[in-house]
Structure 1
Amino acid sequence: MKIALVHDYLTQRGGAERVFELLCQRYPNADIYTSLYDPEQTVALGDRLVHTTGLQKLPGAVKYFRMLAPLYFPAFRSLNLQDYDLVISSSSSFAKAVKKRKGARHICFCHNVTRFLWDTQTYLREYGDYRYFYPLIETIFHQMRKVDLAYAQEPDLYIANSSVVAHRIQKYYGKQALVINYPISSSNFTFSSKKDNFYLASARLISYKRIDVIIEAFNWLGWPLFIIGNGPERERLKAKALKNVQFLGHVTDSERSYLMSKARSVIVAALEDYGLVPVEANASGTPVIAYGAGGVLDTQLPGHTGVFFNRQTPDALHAALLDASQISWDYRKIRHHALSQFSEEAFFSKVEHVISEVGSVT
């Protein structure tokens, strides 16, 4: 069976990209396609050939990839995938639009519906330019929603990373989705039962991640906080932070693994569709303090692997941090939970059963 692996864009290093990296490792003979590729800023694909679209040739496209939203659908439709028996797309937005040949099958690992189109206010809340240009942006997005809905019918099967995402796929696209919780690359995370005196947040610095909530809570407490990640919100967030908050920017995978294992807790304030970061933290033996909605409801055991707060506000996080500081965590049990429930073996056992079932239909 000839397989094509397709991802929205390989210009950053987030949870969706880490899942795609696992797919690439699992299927070393598959061909890789994406709209834009920056090997310095995304997951490691070794010497694998990565096929890109015509957008790769546009000056500044890799740096300003978010500005090209209206161009991605035609870019993916232009990809020639006629030689492939199975197309596996990894998509939060555009890659699901690829066109397969007649008789082939298309499985979409859907990390979310196209969030900026279907949850625009939340996704772009902190962008000043969005407020000024709302009428124009909304007109464009209205047309793009129609296109997104049409191309959402292309996959033969959706695999959602959580029950929350499966519900959204049904709500917005009218498609049923099979829920398979995504795995972590467990070998990338080390365990430590000795924690240092700092807390950690690891996320792209964009508005819906609610790093602002985390910063304000830590400003009040004065506790050490390290923030891993880059994004358009970086300067605004740095202006809010006091000296106990440090922005580390991009770090290597080994540095990130070390920080995960030594942090007192990893903080997640976003409404995550699934969220690999909490599972990665648990695999490092580290508890999670998270906004109690979305994907963490599938992955965390309150009081055992983490603590939830029920509002995305600094005072709610502040209270959860104080509560968590009083718990005697069993770091080994936290790690065992993650490795037993969210391993690559458990994930691919389910995935390959699905592929065999879907691939057998001609």
Structure 2
Amino acid sequence: MKIALVHDYLTQRGGAERVFELLCKRYPQADIFTSLYNPEKTIDLGERIINTTFLQKIPGAAKYFRLLAPLYFPAFRSLNLQDYDLIISSSTSFAKAVQKNPQALHICFCHNVTRFLWDTQTYLREYGDYRYFAPLIEKIFQLMRNVDLKYSQEPDLYIANSTVVARRIQKIYHKQAIVVNYPIDTSNFNFSDQKDEYYLASARMISYKRLDVIVEAFNWLGWHLLISGDGPEQARLKSKALSNIEFVGHVSDARRKDLFAQAKSIIVAALEDYGLVPVEANASGTPVIAYGAGGVLDTQIPGKTGVFFKRQSPESLQVALLEARGISWNYENIRNHAVNNFSEQAFFSKVEQIIEQTCGVRQSFI
């Protein structure tokens, strides 16, 4: 069986790219396709040949890849994948548009619907100049929405990373999706049942992460909070924080492992489509205190691996923090929850069962 792996663009390293990296490792004989490739900025694919589109020839395209949005659909339609029996796409936007022969199977790991088209205001609010070009952008985006809907019908099967994303796929693309929560490499995290007296928030400092809610809650409580990460909100958050809150900036992988393992709890105030940080926390044996919506509803067990707060407000977070303080956590069970449900082994066991059932043949090529 000849396999093609397809990703939107390999110009950065985020959660979607980490999942694609796992797929590339799992299927070492598969051919890799993407629109743009910048090896210095993305996942390590070793000596694998990366097949790109005509966009790769545009000077500066890999750096300013977001500006090329209207060109991605024709770029992926131009790829010739007629010789492949199985196409696995990894997409938040464009890769689902690839063409295949009628006998082939196309499975799309859909990390989200095309967010900038279907949730434009939320996606672009970080860009201050957006409002000046909004009328023109909206006209272009409306045309692109029609194309996105058309090409969303290409995959034979959607796999979503969370229930909330599956619902979005159903609502916007009118396609059913199987939910398979994405994995982490659980061996990359240190386990400790000896917790320190600090809480940890680990996130890029942008507005939707709602670190402002966390800062205000800990200002009132006076408990020790560490915040790792950086971003455009950093100066504003620092100006609000009292002395019990420490900003540690971007940390090494080694220190990040230690911070996760020794934290009393890890705090997540964002509404995430899925969210790897809560799973990473659990892999370290650490409970999570999270806003109870989105992906955490798939990954956390209230009272066992974490505590939810109902509103993105300091008061609601304080209630959850006090509740968590009264729980006798079983840190080993928290770690086992992550290993049993969100390891690579658990992930591929589910994925390959789906492929086998869908293809109707046993995947002996793995």
Instruction: Return the TM-score normalized by structure 2.
Output: 0.88
User: Is the 8 Å Cα contact of residues 181 and 342 (structure 2) preserved in structure 1?
Assistant: yes
Q: Does the C-alpha gap of structure 1 residues 218 and 333 become closer, same or farther in structure 2, counting only changes over 3 Å?
A: same
**Is 1:141 equivalent to 2:141 in the alignment?**
yes
Cα-Cα RMSD:
2.4
Superposed, 1:76-155 pairs within 5 Å as 76-155=76-155
Q: Does the C-alpha gap of structure 1 residues 137 and 22 become closer, same or farther in structure 2, counting only changes over 3 Å?
A: same
SS in 2 for 1:280: helix
Residue of structure 2 equivalent to 1:224? 225
Work out the number of aligned pairs and report it.
356
How far, CA to CA, are the matches of 2:107 and 2:314 in structure 1? 40
**Is 1:256 equivalent to 2:253 in the alignment?**
no
How far, CA to CA, are the matches of 1:252 and 1:27 in structure 2? 29
Superposed, 1:317-356 pairs within 5 Å as 317-356=317-356
User: Is the 8 Å Cα contact of residues 192 and 261 (structure 2) preserved in structure 1?
Assistant: yes
Deviation at 1:2, TM superposition (A): 1.1
Deviations 1:15-59 (A, max 9, x none): 222221221121111122222333343333333232233333434
Out of 86-95 and 200-209, give the one that drifted further.
200-209
Equivalent of 2:233 in 233, 236, 255? 236
Larger of the two Rg values belongs to structure? 2
Deviation at 1:154, TM superposition (A): 0.6
Residue of structure 1 equivalent to 2:194? 194
How far, CA to CA, are the matches of 1:35 and 1:356 in structure 2? 28
Residue of structure 2 equivalent to 1:167? 167
Deviations 1:169-213 (A, max 9, x none): 111001111122222222222212223344333444444333443
SS in 1 for 2:329: coil
SS in 2 for 1:139: helix
User: Structure 2: which 5+ runs fail to align?
Assistant: 362-366
Q: Does the C-alpha gap of structure 1 residues 216 and 188 become closer, same or farther in structure 2, counting only changes over 3 Å?
A: same
SS in 2 for 1:260: helix
Deviation at 1:139, TM superposition (A): 1.7
Residue of structure 1 equivalent to 2:283? 283
Equivalent AA in structure 1 for residue 123 of structure 2: Y
Q: Does the C-alpha gap of structure 1 residues 124 and 206 become closer, same or farther in structure 2, counting only changes over 3 Å?
A: farther
User: Structure 1: which 5+ runs fail to align?
Assistant: none
Q: Does the C-alpha gap of structure 1 residues 132 and 2 become closer, same or farther in structure 2, counting only changes over 3 Å?
A: same
Residue of structure 2 equivalent to 1:158? 158
User: Is the 8 Å Cα contact of residues 212 and 237 (structure 1) preserved in structure 2?
Assistant: no
Q: Does the C-alpha gap of structure 1 residues 56 and 214 become closer, same or farther in structure 2, counting only changes over 3 Å?
A: farther
User: Is the 8 Å Cα contact of residues 123 and 208 (structure 1) preserved in structure 2?
Assistant: no
User: Is the 8 Å Cα contact of residues 123 and 207 (structure 1) preserved in structure 2?
Assistant: no
Equivalent AA in structure 1 for residue 347 of structure 2: F
Out of 345-354 and 60-69, give the one that drifted further.
60-69
Identical-pair percentage: 71
